[in-house]
Structure 1
């Protein structure tokens, strides 16, 4: 369940609360949060509440109750109310404490600028209030610019932008053409660039790395770490924790004097940086689970009701993993990484195949034969010549299925997650892109350079409903067989042509 696809709720209610807050004051508005929270909690989708319970079960180490579920909804409502006042500079009655501020001051004094990695945990607006003049902390001597993905909260952002147009200009949507340029310019002026680094997409790309979080592999966006490395700025962690009515604790922690992604160890360095961020986020999330505002399936492990891809396309997608079998690979010492490196070196190849497919409920196997084509970086093609003419083509985010020159179907992979996972298993394998492969699959390698096997197990329950595992067999310098185990199990023998 992607957070980007969730419908924004409560736009009209937020406008009303903002009006009440300005007219009736904080105390009455705070009292109204109790019935408002009760309404939104009771009317929240069952999947959303289940996603929150999964987080709480892992963060608390026990089964959560209704009181546990209530806390993040109420805390989120309270931070939205406080945001009305903080954006207007009305900080009287607020208590904002800090830790690690001296380390941030030292970074500011260097004049190099600093990237602040935060999360959807607590209030980023409270951190901004710390930088404003007249808040009792002396204000921040440099500009503070926030970069975040805003498209799924357009109505809420419109309400808050109306409260302070000046501060609204300092919030830059991620994924826009000028996002990185504005970040670079802010840092060159010695400013602070804040990024909420726990959700994808980040800085215009939809790439994630899989790292441990609360004991379970979770997707973390790579973009903030790549941005920090490209800009060469110091990096600190920043969390604005809601502690109660108008009380916040702002925490700053050192992260890296400079993030370095070496060319030869780029993926390892990227994963290490994301893992350190996830570990720090885990510590704060365990200590303050009521501040967790990711109201969606953070681990992407829940089945998602969505319009399924056409049946023929789903069957075609099941055939696609065999395209990867046309690639010769040298299994040198180093295991999976060495095999993937050899795959990445092959830019184009063709092969003949013979396939035996078993479908549940049928006693006989369905044989077929044809040719396979891979063209780097992203074009895959499977042509069946017997028992009938059929072609499956993958290019970018499109999958096209054609049969007998008359039937044609097309699907956008962004709208068909289960097909995309299957396609990425092939594309990532062919491209030697191990991080992307591990975003969708758990990979196990066994054997030796003369006889090796890669086992792929899907991370998504939606994919697992179609394919339980994919097995790639290789001997010496070539992949010799591809197997899938699922509703339609298949074995394909490969003979590389060139």
Structure 2
């Protein structure tokens, strides 16, 4: 979660490795209810002390309510948003512990998964901070032959990743740390895609290097900055591009996979416009899935331009 005035990559990790271990111990000893009992004061503390994260949550829910009023229900406040974040934190750990069974996962788009399974080409899978990205490891159970490299900014979540590795040293997903997409990194990823591997990268948060490679897109009724990096990378790799979202619904993990493009191609003359179009199309799909799980978009940082969200009664309950 956020500290005021900083880019997300410069914000120190909330909490400590010891705190995460205590939460995990509570779960192992008492189950989810024990975890929730200890989680309550932890989430309350962060809700009260992280003003910027609280404001970012309120703005997101207000914009979502104004744009898609049908998807906001009673009780969907910033407090509940924070609480959902804590619950998903446990789910992330359970994935890496190997506690997520095949029966816990619903593959909503079997045709798309079949296409992925039968392809020998490799590709790029765009994910987001909506839902639980770690559950993409379920792909390894559904599609035993698939190989996945997940690009992460591990410095920002060093403690969490340390705990995950200690919890399960045999995790099947290959994590690759990136702070900037260098030519050497692109070459490594190209070799992996050519070998039939899939590269997973989040496409909804401004890059660590700053806001230079971003596009201003319409998202939830206002202008927001979204990164171009994932789309530029996909264009360089010249491979199929998919979108994947894993949303928790009725105590199961529903994985949605859809083809975004057979191949992204940006020519020199119209490169800027083509990249802009790709990022905008992604923003529209992200909007669609935010409606399915409104409280599961965990981007607790200033996201929109400086204009204030439209007046909405939900503001009264989100402050």
Q: TM-score, normalised by structure 2?
A: 0.83
**Judging changes above 3 Å, is the alpha-carbon distance between structure 1 residues 146 and 101 closer, same or farther for their aligned structure 2 residues?**
farther
Aligned to 2:77: 68
- Alpha-carbon separation, structure 1, partners of 2:169 and 2:281: 36
2:296 to 287, 291, 303: 291
Q: Does 1:170 align with 2:174?
A: yes
Distance change >3 Å, CA 98–CA 202, structure 1 → 2 = farther
1:46 Cα deviation (Å)?
1.9
Which of 102, 110, 113 is equivalent to 2:119? 110
> Is residue 124–residue 234 contact of structure 2 (8 Å, CA) maintained in 1?
yes
Aligned pair partner of 2:240 in 228, 234, 242:
234
Structure 1 gap segments, 5+ residues each = 304-498
Deviation at 1:93, TM superposition (A): 9.2
Is 2:107 the counterpart of 1:98? yes
**Are the counterparts in 2 of residues 203 and 224 from structure 1 also a CA contact under 8 Å?**
no
1:124 to 2:152 alignment: no
Unmatched 5+ residue regions in structure 2? Answer: 309-319
CA drift of 1:94 comes to 6.1
Aligned counterpart for 2:271 among listed residues 248, 253, 266: 266
The equivalent position to 1:149 in structure 2, one of 146, 149, 153, is 153
Cα distance in 1 for residues equivalent to 2:73 and 2:80: 11
Written as runs of structure 1 = structure 2, the 5 A alignment for 1:412-427 is: none
1:279 aligns with 2:284: yes
Higher RCO, 1 vs 2 (CA within 8 Å, ≥6 residues apart) = 2
Please tell me whether residue 195 in structure 1 is matched to residue 204 in structure 2: no
Question: What is the match of residue 46 of structure 1?
Answer: 51
Say if 1:210 and 1:163 are closer, same or farther in 2 by CA, change over 3 A.
same
Alpha-carbon distance change, 214 to 82 in structure 1, aligned in 2, over 3 angstroms: same
Q: 1:51 to 1:103 in 2, by over 3 A?
A: same
Q: Following TM superposition, by how much is the alpha carbon of 1:233 offset from its aligned partner in structure 2, in angstroms?
A: 0.9
2:109 and 2:258 in contact (8 A); partners too? yes
Deviations for 1:3-27, whole angstroms, at most 9, x for unmatched residues? 2232321123212112333444444
Does the 8 Å contact 1:203/1:227 carry over to 2? no
Alpha-carbon distance change, 181 to 18 in structure 1, aligned in 2, over 3 angstroms: farther
The CA RMSD over aligned residues, in Å, is: 2.7
Equivalent residues of 1:116, 1:195 under 8 A apart: yes
Query: Contact 2:21–2:163 at 8 Å: present in 1 too?
Result: yes
Superposition deviation, residue 86 in structure 1:
1.3
- The residue aligned with 2:261 is 256
- Contact 1:209-1:274 at 8 Å conserved across structures: yes
Q: In the aligned structure 2, how far is the partner of 1:132 from the partner of 1:23?
A: 29
**Shift in Å, 1:298:** 1.0
**Does the 8 Å CA contact 1:144/1:193 hold for their aligned counterparts?**
yes
Q: Structure 1 residue 31: deviation in Å? A: 4.6
Q: Give the aligned length.
A: 296
1:159 aligned to 2:159?
Answer: no
The match for 1:208 is 214
Contact 1:117 / 1:237 at 8 angstroms: preserved in 2? yes
> Offset of 1:88 from its aligned partner?
1.9
Contact 2:238 2:263 in 1 (8 A): yes
CA-CA distance at 1:252 after TM superposition? 0.8
Q: Distance in 1 between matches of 2:30 and 2:191?
A: 41
Query: Does structure 1 retain, via aligned residues, the 8 Å contact 2:148–2:173?
Result: no
Aligned-pair distance for 1:108?
3.5
Local SS of the residue matching 2:149: strand
Larger radius of gyration: 1
Who is 1:29 aligned against? Answer: 35
Q: Which stretches of structure 1, 4 residues or longer, exceed 6 Å deviation after superposition?
A: 62-66, 202-205
